[in-house]
């Protein structure tokens, strides 16, 4: 299943959940605060900008934000919140598409690099970030840590969320580092609706090697946007890579 098939009109319409979930202030505000700090008065580029969950409040902070996005329905949803002059968007793949730059900051949030399903594509995403940055510019990635410890030997699926009206199940292919999230939503009349999203999960050390191949070095890694310590028990990380002066 291609990403442009997943992020269709229906997905774009239900993506925004103002004030809750990913849009809850306690989730969103620390990310915007940190990215505004890292932009340091320069221009920012968001890969897979989506409906503008992060870009819109970041632009409201005075940061000049441009986006790259594969899905036209997601761009259409963004346009209900910000016009092209406020947040320009180039339609295309985040691994290969270029936007008029240069930029001081490129960022990729909420596990989106894992939507690229092969290691070469993920490496190209780093190289694309490098192409857009000024020397010394930063590339920021927010990403889950693979939690294969929850997967008993011989079992291929794990329930990650179970709540009224919703069941989330992850299935794993450890050989290819593939994970597919299955989202079951139930209506009051008992009907079930399934949405699926495939991912290629990345270990932090592998991510660092991808960065090195593109001329980056790791500047910092924290467990969250607030700067929490990253440990062996952390379920996610925010990694900041800095582009070498000679890259």
Q: Tell me, what's the pLDDT at 151?
A: 85
Q: Tell me, what's the pLDDT at 13?
A: 67
- CATH number for the region 3-146+202-243 comes to 3.40.50.150
Q: How far apart are CA 151 and CA 148, in angstroms?
A: 5
The whole-number mean pLDDT for each consecutive block of 10 residues of the chain, a chain of 247 residues, reads 62 72 90 97 97 96 97 93 97 97 96 96 98 97 91 87 91 93 88 89 97 98 97 96 83
Q: Tell me, what's the pLDDT at 92?
A: 96
Q: Tell me, what's the pLDDT at 23?
A: 83
- Which three-class secondary structure string do you get for the chain? CCHHHHCCHHHHHHHCCCCCHHHCHHHHHHHHHHHHHHHCCCCEEEECCCCCCCHHHHHHCCCCEEEEECCHHHHHHHHCCCCCCCCCEEECCCCCCCCCCCEEEEEECCCHHHHCCCHHHHHHHHHHHHHHEEEEEEEEEEEECCCHHHCCCCCCEEEEEEECCEEEEEEEECCCCEEEEEEEEECCCCCEEEEEEEEECCCHHHHHHHHHHCCEEEEEEECCCCCCCCCCCCCEEEEEEEECCCC
């Amino acid at each position: 299943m291609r990403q442009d098939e997943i992020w269709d009109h229906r997905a774009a319409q239900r993506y925004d959940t103002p004030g809750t979930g990913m849009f809850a202030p306690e989730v969103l505000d620390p990310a915007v605060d940190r990215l505004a700090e890292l932009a340091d008065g320069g221009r920012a580029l968001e890969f897979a900008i989506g409906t503008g969950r992060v870009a819109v409040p970041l632009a409201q902070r005075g940061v000049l934000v441009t986006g790259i996005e594969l899905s036209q329905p997601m761009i259409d949803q963004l346009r209900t919140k910000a016009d092209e002059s406020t947040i320009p968007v180039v339609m295309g793949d985040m691994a290969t598409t270029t936007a008029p730059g240069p930029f001081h900051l490129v960022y990729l949030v909420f596990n989106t690099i894992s939507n690229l399903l092969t290691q070469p594509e993920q490496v190209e995403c780093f190289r694309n970030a490098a192409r857009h940055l000024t020397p010394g510019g930063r590339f920021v990635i927010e990403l889950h840590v693979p939690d294969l410890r929850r997967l008993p030997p011989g079992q291929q699926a794990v329930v990650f969320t179970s709540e009224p009206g919703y069941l989330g199940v992850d299935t794993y292919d450890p050989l290819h580092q593939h994970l597919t999230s299955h989202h079951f939503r139930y209506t009051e009349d008992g009907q079930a609706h399934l949405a699926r999203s495939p991912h290629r999960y990345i270990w932090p050390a592998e991510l660092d090697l991808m960065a090195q191949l593109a001329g980056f070095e790791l500047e910092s890694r924290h467990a969250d946007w607030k700067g929490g310590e990253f440990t062996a028990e952390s379920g996610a990380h925010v990694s900041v890579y800095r582009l070498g002066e000679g890259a």
